[in-house]
């Protein structure tokens, strides 16, 4: 079982364009046979049915309806979850208002902070359980939920907790006060982490919240509601209403809400803004992206390849800041593609609960269809596709790591957010062309730059229209680091001192 050199595959131009005719290439074949290493779900005890979490209580939904949440790796239902209607949203907002006025705004700030510290600790104590449920419900590899989502969620609560009693120092000379009740709608790609990004700063700044998790991934939010009860937070400070689009629409347009925080698609974000036009409801929007990951010929090549892989295949590419447009300096293109395709061929697609898995399940059937549709359009547009021939599970929703070369700037796969493990490659010759191409999008969430030259890195970083620029790295996050977009990728920041502004009234 060794890595072999085999003859080239002339029928696949993407893989072969970097090779001389007849040159042999690495063939991994069965070089690495991993024994299955699944994380056992046996210690996780899920309830068959989850109710709403309103005013500190489990509440049956007024609709009487429940929907199933499905494990995307098995296509089997995991649990039933309540579908909140308008009455339930009403009750949740009213509970949040009462909690805000009677308790949360009356507490000493440090005491508020101490509750939030408790949440952070409880998340750490139940970390493995949360990671397993996150992977079961959403399809992400257990390595990511265990090593990234859950610890980062805890870190956000821990970070924000410390701000609670220091807000007056955050913006010196400027008066700050909480906003009141925050309505928060979050997506399915990082369910627990997004809940933390939303709830932690809101609470630290003295607001109370009503959170709506995504309908395909509600389970870790329900576990979080247990933790919130365990942390003995006053009733109504955090309320969680589950449901689909209509529940979210009822929540964000509720007149009792002072602030709306949304993370999700640009289309839905715009719809919410239209709904709230003229109301003076405060908003922050974290929307879509089509990030350029720019690789110069002088970059440390192997590190760049790892960064590209991490940039687009992290969380199956279900990442708003995914490096989905690879811009390669023309002279490097063939060599880079050869290395990239070789590296892609080692990625393991499979059971999200297996610790060897690199790429888990696509979150939903609907999302898988969207990815397939866009990939098909890429092929029709004349782009050259390479998908790895890795073993695929025989059930569940999966998509192989895919890269397109020969992509036109006007092609849909170069312009639209695919939100899947699909990379589009374009080339450039000069720094100015790289900037021009990178900024030629309505989005502006993030970008990557790979170069050995510091002055070039800073020049690129300053000219890229993106809220986060990763230099010689990609997809790094931290509670102390503001995250958010330029242009149609939204407005407002999450994380850091700047993130507090989303939940404070500052004199203006």
Partner 1 sequence: MNERRQAGSDRRRPATSEEADGWRVAVKKTWKLYIGGAFVRSESGHSLVTADGDDNYPHGTRKDLRDAVKAAIGAQPGWAGRTAYNRGQILYRLAEVLEARRSELVHGLVRGGSADAETEVSASIDRVVSYAGWSDKYQSLLATSNPVAGPHFGFSVPEPVGVVGIVAPERPSLLGLVGSICPVIVSGNAAVVLGSEADPRTALGFCEALATSDLPGGVVNVLTGRRSELLSHFASHMGLRALDLWNVDDETAKPLEVAATENVKRVTRRALDERGWYDTDRTTSPSWIHSFVETKTIWHPMGA
Q: Of 53 and 474, which CB lies nearer to partner 1 in the complex structure? A: 474
- How many CB atoms neighbour CB 369 within 10 A? 12
Q: Is 470 in the site for partner 1 (CB under 8 A)?
A: yes
Q: Of 188 and 443, which CB lies nearer to partner 1 in the complex structure? A: 443
Active-site residue, 23 included = no
- Piece of 15-23, 50-58, 220-228, 468-476 that binds partner 1 (CB under 8 A): 468-476
Nearest distance from C-beta of residue 477 to partner 1, angstroms: 9
Phi first, then psi, for residue 201 (nearest 5°) are -70, -35
Active-site residue, 376 included = no
Name residues whose C-beta falls within 8 Å of residue 499's C-beta, 6 or more positions apart in sequence.
201, 482, 483, 493
- How many residues bind to partner 1 according to rule CB under 8 A? 48
What is the C-alpha to C-alpha distance for residues 237 and 224, in angstroms, rounded to an integer?
A: 13
Phi first, then psi, for residue 204 (nearest 5°) are -60, -35
From candidates 50, 145, 484, 504, binder to partner 1 by CB under 8 A: 484
Q: Which two tokens stand for residue 423?
A: 């990379």
CA-nearest of 389, 416, 384 to 400 is 389
Say what angle helices 191-204 and 219-230 make with each other, to 10 degrees: 40
Q: Of 32 and 169, which CB lies nearer to partner 1 in the complex structure? A: 169
What is the C-alpha to C-alpha distance for residues 103 and 112, in angstroms, rounded to an integer?
A: 10
Q: Is 450 in the site for partner 1 (CB under 8 A)?
A: no
Residues 249-288, one symbol each (x = binds partner 1 by CB under 8 A, - = not), give -----------------x--xx--xx-xxxxx----x-x-
Catalytic residue chosen out of the listed positions 320, 321, 341, 390: 320
Q: Which two tokens stand for residue 95?
A: 């509970």
Nearest distance from C-beta of residue 12 to partner 1, angstroms: 34
Q: Is 466 in the site for partner 1 (CB under 8 A)?
A: yes
Q: Is 467 in the site for partner 1 (CB under 8 A)?
A: yes
What is the C-alpha to C-alpha distance for residues 39 and 29, in angstroms, rounded to an integer?
A: 26
CA-nearest of 97, 56, 64, 98 to 80 is 64
What one-character-per-residue DSSP string does 442-498 give?
Answer: S--SEEEEE-S-HHHHHHHHHHS--SEEEES--S---TTS-B--SGGGEES-BSHHH
Q: Of 196 and 383, which CB lies nearer to partner 1 in the complex structure? A: 196
Nearest distance from C-beta of residue 61 to partner 1, angstroms: 31
- Piece of 132-140, 197-205, 399-407, 480-488 that binds partner 1 (CB under 8 A): 480-488
Would you give the DSSP letter of residue 189? S
- Piece of 43-51, 208-216, 312-320, 484-492 that binds partner 1 (CB under 8 A): 484-492
What is the C-alpha to C-alpha distance for residues 445 and 262, in angstroms, rounded to an integer?
A: 15
What is the C-alpha to C-alpha distance for residues 260 and 192, in angstroms, rounded to an integer?
A: 18
Tell me whether strands 325-329 and 422-428 are parallel, antiparallel or unpaired.
Answer: parallel
CA-nearest of 191, 195, 227, 229 to 211 is 195
- Piece of 21-29, 104-112, 358-366, 491-499 that binds partner 1 (CB under 8 A): 491-499
- How many CB atoms neighbour CB 453 within 10 A? 12
Q: Of 404 and 474, which CB lies nearer to partner 1 in the complex structure? A: 474
DSSP bridge partners of 405: 384
CA-nearest of 213, 191, 176 to 92 is 213
Q: Of 225 and 284, which CB lies nearer to partner 1 in the complex structure? A: 284
Largest CA distance in the chain: 77
What is the C-alpha to C-alpha distance for residues 403 and 422, in angstroms, rounded to an integer?
A: 6
The residue with tokens 């690879």 is 326
Catalytic residue chosen out of the listed positions 83, 286, 417, 488: 286
Q: Of 327 and 383, which CB lies nearer to partner 1 in the complex structure? A: 327
Nearest distance from C-beta of residue 493 to partner 1, angstroms: 5
Dihedral (C-alpha) 81, 83, 89, 94: value to the nearest 10 degrees?
Answer: -40
From candidates 153, 397, 490, 502, binder to partner 1 by CB under 8 A: 490
Nearest distance from C-beta of residue 91 to partner 1, angstroms: 28
Q: Is 301 in the site for partner 1 (CB under 8 A)?
A: no
Q: Which two tokens stand for residue 116?
A: 């939030």
Q: Of 74 and 498, which CB lies nearer to partner 1 in the complex structure? A: 498
From candidates 486, 500, 502, 504, binder to partner 1 by CB under 8 A: 486
Nearest distance from C-beta of residue 497 to partner 1, angstroms: 5
Of the CA atoms within 13 Å of residue 373, those in its CB half-sphere come to 10
Q: Is 487 in the site for partner 1 (CB under 8 A)?
A: yes
Residues 405-444, one symbol each (x = binds partner 1 by CB under 8 A, - = not), give -------------------------------------x--
Name residues whose C-beta falls within 8 Å of residue 442's C-beta, 6 or more positions apart in sequence.
266, 487, 488
Nearest distance from C-beta of residue 486 to partner 1, angstroms: 5
- Piece of 123-131, 169-177, 227-235, 389-397 that binds partner 1 (CB under 8 A): 169-177
Contact set for partner 1, span 130-159 (CB under 8 A): 155
Contact 446, 310 (CB under 8 A): no
From candidates 20, 21, 43, 508, binder to partner 1 by CB under 8 A: 508
Q: Is 124 in the site for partner 1 (CB under 8 A)?
A: no
Q: Of 13 and 454, which CB lies nearer to partner 1 in the complex structure? A: 454
Catalytic residue numbers read 286, 320
Residue ranges in contact with partner 1 by CB under 8 A:
155, 172-174, 266, 269-270, 273-274, 276-280, 285, 287, 442, 457, 461-462, 466-473, 476, 478, 480-484, 486-491, 493, 496-498, 506-508
């Amino acid at each position: 079982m060794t890595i072999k050199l085999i003859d080239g595959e002339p029928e696949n131009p993407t893989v072969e364009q970097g090779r001389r005719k007849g040159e042999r290439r690495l063939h991994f074949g069965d070089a690495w046979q991993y024994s299955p290493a699944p994380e056992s779900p046996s210690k996780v005890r899920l309830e068959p049915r989850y109710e709403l979490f309103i005013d500190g209580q489990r509440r049956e939904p007024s609709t009487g309806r429940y929907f199933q949440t499905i494990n995307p790796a098995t296509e089997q239902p995991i649990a039933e979850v309540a579908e909140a209607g308008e009455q339930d949203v009403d009750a949740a907002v009213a509970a949040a208002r009462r909690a805000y006025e009677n308790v949360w705004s009356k507490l000493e700030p440090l005491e508020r902070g101490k509750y939030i510290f408790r949440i952070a600790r409880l998340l750490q104590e139940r970390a493995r359980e949360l990671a397993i449920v996150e992977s079961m419900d959403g399809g992400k590899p257990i390595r990511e939920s265990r090593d990234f989502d859950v610890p980062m969620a805890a870190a956000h609560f821990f970070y924000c907790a410390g701000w609670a009693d220091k807000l007056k120092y955050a913006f010196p000379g400027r008066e700050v006060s909480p906003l009141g009740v925050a309505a928060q709608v979050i997506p399915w790609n990082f369910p627990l982490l997004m809940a933390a990004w939303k709830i932690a700063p809101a609470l630290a700044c003295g607001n109370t919240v009503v959170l709506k998790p995504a309908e395909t991934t509600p389970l870790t939010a329900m576990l979080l509601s247990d933790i919130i009860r365990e942390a003995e937070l006053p009733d109504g400070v955090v309320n969680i209403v589950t449901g689909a689009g209509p529940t979210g629409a009822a929540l964000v347009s509720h007149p009792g809400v002072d602030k709306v925080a949304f993370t999700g698609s640009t289309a839905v974000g715009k719809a919410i803004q239209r709904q709230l036009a003229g109301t003076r409801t405060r908003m922050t929007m974290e929307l879509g992206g089509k990030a350029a990951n720019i690789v110069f010929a002088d970059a440390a090549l192997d590190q760049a390849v790892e960064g590209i892989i991490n940039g687009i295949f992290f969380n199956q590419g279900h990442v708003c800041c995914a490096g989905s447009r690879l811009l390669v300096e023309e002279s490097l293109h063939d060599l880079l593609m050869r290395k990239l395709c070789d590296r892609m061929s080692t990625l393991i697609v499979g059971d999200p609960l297996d610790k060897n898995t690199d790429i888990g399940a696509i979150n939903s059937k609907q999302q898988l269809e969207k990815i397939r549709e866009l990939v098909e359009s890429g092929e029709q547009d004349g782009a050259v596709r390479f998908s790895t021939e890795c073993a695929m599970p025989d059930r569940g929703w999966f998509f192989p790591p895919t890269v397109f070369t020969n992509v036109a700037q006007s092609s849909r796969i170069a312009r639209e957010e695919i939100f899947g493990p699909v990379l589009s490659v374009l080339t450039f010759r000069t720094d100015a062309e790289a900037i021009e191409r990178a900024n030629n999008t309505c989005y502006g969430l993030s970008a990557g730059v790979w170069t050995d030259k510091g002055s070039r890195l800073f020049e690129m970083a300053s000219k890229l229209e993106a809220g986060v620029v990763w230099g010689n790295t990609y997809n790094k996050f931290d509670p102390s680091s503001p995250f958010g977009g330029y242009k149609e990728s939204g407005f407002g920041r999450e994380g850091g001192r700047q993130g507090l502004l989303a939940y404070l009234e500052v004199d203006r």
